[in-house]
Amino acid sequence: MMEFLSGISPGIEHWLILSALLFSIGIYGVLVRKNAVGVLLSAELMLNAGILNFVIFNYFITPLIVDGELMALFLIAVAAAEAVVGMAIFVAIYKHKKTVDVTRLDTLKG
């Protein structure tokens, strides 16, 4: 058991596929969710997967410097900003249209 577990200890590919999977799930959410808040949540999921990628590459490829970690910090800050603006917009839209159903927000219709 232990040998098996240590034998499959995660390499960089495992980590990357994990992050890609999280990212893809985020994509699915962004494309499918009807509630705007849900879309935002999915977008946060994608962002997180991106951050995870930075950290992974920092750990595996350049372990002696901290630039990837720094990028992750910046990204967290940007994600916070994004969430704030997104939420503010949703609140404004909700006041205006009484809904945050993105399938009904189709002003872009040709």
* Contact flag: residue 12 with other proteins (CB under 8 A): yes
59 binds other proteins (CB under 8 A): yes
The least distance separating other proteins from the CB of residue 46, rounded to whole angstroms, comes to 10
50 interacts with other proteins by CB under 8 A: no
Burial degree of 51 (CB within 10 A; 0-12, 13-18, 19+): buried
Residue 51 binding other proteins, by CB under 8 A? yes
Instruction: Answer yes or no whether residue 76 interacts with other proteins by CB under 8 A.
Output: yes
Structure tokens that stand for 3 in this block? 């040998």
Cβ-contact 30, 86 below 8 angstroms: no
**Contact set for other proteins, span 25-44 (CB under 8 A):** 25-35, 37-42, 44
Contact between 92 and other proteins by CB under 8 A: the answer reads: yes
Contact in structure between 16 and 42 (CB atoms under 8 Å) = no
3-state SS assignment for residue 9: coil
